[in-house]
Amino acid sequence: MGNLAKGIKETLPDFQKFLLERRLAPEKNVPFLAYWVGRFLTFGRNKDLSTDGYNETAVIGFLDMLREDEKILDWQPRQADDALKLYYFHFLGKAGPVRPDAIGSAGGPDALKEVTRLIRLRHYSYSTERSYLQWIQRFFTYALRGEKKLSDMTTTDFRDFLSHLAMKEKVSASTQNQAFNAVLFLYRHVLGKETGDLGYTVRAKRGQKLPVVFSIEEIKQLFEHISGINRLFAEMLYGSGMRIMELARLRVKDVDFTAATIFVRSGKGDKDRSTVLPSAVKERLLEHLKGVKELHEKDLTAGYGEVQMPDALGRKYPNAGREWAWQYVFPSLKLSVDPRSGRVGRHHISDNPIQEAVKNALKKAGIAKHASVHTLRHSFATHLLQAGVNIREVQDLLGHKSVETTMIYTHVLRNMANAPKSPLDALYQSDTHL
């Protein structure tokens, strides 16, 4: 232990100096990056795992340990992973399966494979994976011209791409932010470069937008034109305030009929929360789950019936994916091949059918609003506030990080309840008294 501590003490100052000299990380982050490397080296020794080179098994085990530590914040395992990449791929020059300086010069498959590998190491959702890969490919098409290589990429390339999206392609602020997150991932985790100051980037304009909200009567009209499983799904969205993919990914174990509570796992920001289970859907939901259980038992008999498990639970509990408690409340009607594991199973329902059902219902009901499925969530929040529910409680039910985010619905309420009286109405009212 003494030799190990001495080795860490001697090595890490050099690592910090290396990061500062090459400007691979902000100065304020450098001591923390060194700290995580020190913890990893100690972890490897205690687990009798080799840390001479980049040992992916050891890294995954170390990051999983951090995620399970309640004292560790959500962002810290990501910083620790960044530290290990910088330490092995750059400082020591001992890379894993794909070294950053060996990635293809034209943004080819090697680069995208490395992006995919690192995304999956962090347990990002499959939709995020696809989005990142599409944006990074677009960035390659824009930035890699002629003989330019990935290793030549600078902050200027990043900034120019974002400005191009805003000025030439006229993308929305949210779309530009998607591109920003994807290319930032490429720079930090694959190329091992910090992006520095992006202050001169042209950002897409984002004005304050009030959410579209249905009235109570419009909600009733909408549901009258939706039937079957889509209606149950839509009613649960409105009755619980869940996001569409939160409900699609809901597991049987996370519905508590006795307490009338739904537990949302790994929602936005990878946070858990609870919300209300509407009494109006309880009986129909129980009946629906009977059919789902029968379908699951048929899948098991046919040799399937295993669902994807979140994060590292699949390794920790290898048979849990076949248990009833872990099945999706709203499974797909068809078996499919998991794009990551290659296993045949029954994934959760797609969001496309409910999106289409709500779109058609809007037309049939004659509701002339620019609305979508997400409008049900906005309506949930606004109607609760109308009913006198405390805004902090609404914030918790929605899973908002800050109450300022929830405050937007108070603006909607104010516009609905305290609209000023038109001077035209006052004019005609005064005429009636003449």
With 50 as the cut, is the pLDDT of residue 92 above it?
A: yes
More confident residue, 388 or 98: 388
Question: Looking at 330-427, which runs of residues are DSSP E strands?
Answer: 336-337, 344-345
- In whole angstroms, what is the distance from residue 100 CA to residue 192 CA? 8
pLDDT tens across 184-222, in order? 888 887 877 777 666 566 667 666 678 999 999 999 999
Q: What domains are there in the chain, each with its CATH number?
A: 1-96 (1.10.150), 105-207 (1.10.150.130), 216-414 (1.10.443.10)
Helix (H, G, I), strand (E, B) or coil at 261: strand
Q: How confident is the model at residue 432 (pLDDT cuts 50, 70, 90)?
A: low
Q: List the catalytic residue out of 88, 132, 238, 409.
A: 409
With 80 as the cut, is the pLDDT of residue 270 above it?
A: no
- In whole angstroms, what is the distance from residue 199 CA to residue 24 CA? 18
Which run of H or of E encompasses 93? Answer: none
The predicted structure's pLDDT at residue 105: 45
The number of CA neighbours under 13 Å toward the Cβ of 257 is: 10
Q: List the catalytic residue out of 268, 284, 288, 322.
A: 268
With 80 as the cut, is the pLDDT of residue 72 above it?
A: yes
Residue 14 forms beta bridges with which residues? none
Q: Identify whether the C-beta of residue 332 lies closer than 8 Å to the C-beta of residue 350.
A: yes
> Contacts by 68-74 with C-beta closer than 8 Å and gap 24+?
74/269, 74/270, 74/271
Phi/psi for 362 (5° steps) reads -60, -40
Q: List the catalytic residue out of 189, 377, 378, 383.
A: 377
Helix (H, G, I), strand (E, B) or coil at 341: coil
Q: List the catalytic residue out of 243, 249, 273, 296.
A: 243
User: Is-catalytic flag, 377?
Assistant: yes
In 122-206, alpha helices (H): 126-143, 155-167, 173-185
Q: Would residue 340 be called left, alpha or beta, if left means φ above 0 and alpha means ψ between -120 and 50 degrees?
A: alpha
- Average pLDDT on 352-372 reads 95
Share of the chain above pLDDT 70, in %: 84
User: Is-catalytic flag, 409?
Assistant: yes
The predicted structure's pLDDT at residue 95: 40
pTM of the prediction? 0.67
Residue 185, token pair as written in the block: 């991932």
Name the burial class of residue 418, with classes exposed (0-12), middle (13-18) and buried (19+) by CB atoms within 10 angstroms of its CB: exposed
